[in-house]
Chains A and B, each alone.
Chain A
Amino acid sequence: MTKTRLISLLLALVMLISCTTLLAGCGGGDNQIVIYNWGQYMSDGSDGSEDLIARFEEETGYDVVLRFYESNEELYGLLTSGAIQCDLVIPSDYMIARLIEEGYLDKIDYANIPNYKYIMDAYKGMAYDPTDAYSVPYTWGTTCLIYNTKMVKEAPTSWNALWDTDYKGNVLMFRNSRDAFAIALQKLGYSINTTNETELRAAAAELRTLKANWQGLVMDETFEKMEGNNAAMAPYYAGDFITMQEVNPDLDYVHPVEGVNIFVDAMCVPTGARNKAGAEAFINYMLEPEIGKINIEYIAYSTPNSAVYDLLDAETKNNPAMYPAEDVLAKAEAFSHWPEETNKLVSELWLEVTNG
């Protein structure tokens, strides 16, 4: 009897504590900066990288909390549900446009970010934020087709290679509708921002065909799959290709002839941020040439920061995966924000593909 009473007392205590810590978790001091970022997208001490966060905390006395999301859509869900308290996010171009339009981002006070002067003109006044009021470019890059030279009969040059039935069960595909549709649309020669229903339905049909060919839908599993020779081809981000090739030298990449997606990820402050000044101090810190160099060398994406670019070694500067030639950039297309009805149509079509 006493034993049962003791156990129920303990259980009651555990529940009480978990309830209260849950509420307490929402607090946090004035010093706290909550950052929502992509995984493996900042030199934060993981994987033997230099811990820039700890350095920032030491220099400024702020307390940084890092949290992660897997896709722009997930971040959108988090921000719009109001479920999270957060001071800094790093979404991509088209999502920034949507967040601005719907009022989820706050204007940045550039007086707090003197290092903004380093941002290259090419990344100012972008279509997603024409007045540069809401976003400070963090990185940019392109998608590309990564392939294993030992597993393909000839080096692919086109997105069509993914549909080649010789590679049945050996190709991978993005597990997010926006990137997946972009590839199908480019294969068909359409704009990746088309709102034309016929074109989008044609792209969905292409993806249904591709389903018979693909091994599975992946995001960051691409690393493990390509590094371990478990798949022959995968569309992914060019910056990640560099990381994969360091592990598996048999990997190579191509910017397919139809064109690729060029993306810019930028640092933004959500409306209702509790510590806007802290977030701006952090943005300024990430733009410092030396810090930016350490960061960009770890995450291996391309930098929009002229001072950081100047500090890079010649090998990186001349690496066409990271800084592609003019003709590739000329054909590269950036995502723009789809209107609500197109978003609805595409997500329905995507569900038809994945549930078919």
Chain B
Amino acid sequence: MKTKKLSVPYLLWLAIFVVVPLVFVVYFAFQGKNGFSFENYVTAAKYLPTLGKSLVYALESTLVCLLLAYPTAYIFSRMRTDRQKTMLLLIMLPMWMNFLLRIYSLTIILEKNGLVNKIFGLFGLGPFNMMNTDGAVLLGMVYNFLPFMILPLYSVMSKINGRLLEASADLGASALTTLRRVVFPLSFPGIVTGIIMVFIPAASTFVISQRLGDGSMLIGDLIETFFIGAYTNFGVGSAISLVLMVLMLIFIGVLNLFDNEDVGDMLI
């Protein structure tokens, strides 16, 4: 009884900030000039290339995050317990700063006369053109979302019993075989959660591309312009949002097929 009462604020929260906005999005998406119609989707179809580009960016940044986070999380999980805590704190520390500020600081680092080019300059190299490129956008996304990959991986890997690795070595498996046949299968649920937690915000990201990119839009920026601007069009904006949401649901569904553990639970 007591627990039910405690969940009331959460349900209220969910209703106001998730359910109600979602109802509006669905309503606007199918609202044409004369009532129910698909005309918003016809307009939205023009922006398929932008959607494609965003998905490619999201895939790339997810992959880079995975490659960086996997060894990091593994090394953390094999450290002494007190060190593990310190390391996790260091990973979380940048997240205490607002993400907009972190993106701004990246511009100062990447500019033509920025920090990186100044260091290169000391060795007579450069200046390299890093700011306002596709690479800068990718870097911004990886930088922002990397903790969301490390944390689920670490939480799974820290539960792998060290004796299993010793047993594997005892039985003659090389380090690589142990990684492939012991660590990898046991950490798989963490990989799935990590991919979901990076891919979804990466696919719908905005501001990062505006500030670090070359003036081209990603799907998140596009949705923004349909809701804020000189000529707003809630219908088309909602239609694109809905398409993106359905794609994400399919994506989560497909990933769940690969994994027997309940990823949905871990996500929520």
Interface residues of A (CB under 8 A from B): 8-9, 11-13, 15-16, 19, 72-74, 76-77, 169, 173, 175, 177-178, 211, 214-217, 221, 224-225, 228-231, 343-344, 346-347, 351, 354-356
Contacts and interface: CB of A to CB of B under 8 A. Distances in A.
A10 to B, nearest CB: 10
Nearest to A180: B215
A19 B15 CA distance: 12
A77 B215 contact: no
Nearest to B11: A15
Contacts of A175: 210, 215
A224 B107 contact: yes
A173 B215 CA distance: 9
A287 B10 CA distance: 49
Contact of A77 (B114, B213, B228): B228
A19 B10 CA distance: 10
Interface string B8-23: 1110110010000000
A163 B107 CA distance: 24
A216 B214 contact: yes
27 contacts: A12-B6, A12-B10, A76-B230, A169-B129, A175-B210, A178-B230, A214-B215, A215-B131, A216-B131, A216-B132, A216-B213, A216-B214, A217-B210, A221-B107, A221-B211, A224-B111, A228-B111, A228-B114, A229-B112, A231-B112, A344-B231, A347-B225, A351-B47, A355-B49, A355-B50, A355-B217, A356-B216
Nearest to A217: B215
A228 B228 contact: no
B172 interface: no
Interface of B: 3, 6-10, 12-13, 16, 47, 49-50, 107-108, 111-114, 129, 131-132, 210-211, 213-217, 222, 225, 227-232
Q: Which of B50, B213, B230, B231 has the most CB of A within 10 A?
A: B230
Given A19-B12, A73-B228, A73-B230, A216 B113 contact: no
Contacts of B210: 175, 217
Contacts of A351: 47, 217, 222, 225
Given A19-B12, A173-B215, A230-B113, A12 B7 contact: yes
A225 B108 CA distance: 9
A302 to B, nearest CB: 25
Contact of B108 (A19, A216, A224, A354): A224
A333 B219 CA distance: 35
Nearest to B13: A15
B173 to A, nearest CB: 39
Contacts of B6: 8-9, 12
A347 B112 contact: no
B9 A15 contact: yes
A169 B211 CA distance: 15
B222 to A, nearest CB: 7
B227 A77 contact: yes
